[in-house]
Structure 1
Amino acid sequence: QGITQSMSRKGNSMDDGLMEDFFYLLKTEMFYAQEYKYHSLQELTQAIKEYIEYYNEERIKSRLKGLTPKEYWNQASINPVF
């Protein structure tokens, strides 16, 4: 599929932390105990795409001051923090 696995050194997983957090949320919020919803790989793929869109554009995050990731990054690009 053209996906390259992250190959961080052992004991140095800080670069993987954000993605591990995202995949944990994706699996717990849309997959675990809901596997029956997906009857084909295409349905699962579409559900993952929809979840990513929801996560970036609608899901409010308290650590982002109550904003969605998209709103937070748009705000940050307009008002850079120094």
Structure 2
Amino acid sequence: MIRNQKLMERIREIFEEHKHRYGYRRITAQLKREGYAVNHKRVKRLMTKMYLYAISIRRRFKYSSYQGTVGKIKPNLIKRKFKSIMPDRQWYSDVTEFHLNGEKLYLSPIMDGCTQEIISYRLSRRPDLKQVMDMLEDAYKKHPA
């Protein structure tokens, strides 16, 4: 117990020096840099004994950019009936997010309600208005009104 006393004092000093933000892993690394031959399990046990717990600064909730309804909501004219009798009468679109090699890509297609054919699509790194407008321009060039 006496051999732990000096180590416990140094652990408390490091803990206070870093404003209670260092946990047992960082304190162990700091002690090893200072020349102490110490195991992380020993540091954890001593910190628990001294009631030293690091302040957790992790985010508790997953980030979401959704901020509620933005703009006016249009009336639901389709009422989930995604079939059309005539081609080019109803077009459907959506923006889908894909994760590829650590990157996010956004696909925005237009599908015809009658033929189920993809009229036009755009792939972008950001889901912005330019992506949708370019997709619509391509669709209107292929199928003029």
Q: Which interval holds the TM-score relative to the shorter structure?
A: under 0.3
Larger proportion of helix: 1
Larger CA Rg, structure 1 vs 2: 2
TM-score norm. by structure 1 comes to: 0.28
TM-score norm. by structure 2 comes to: 0.18
Larger proportion of strand: 2
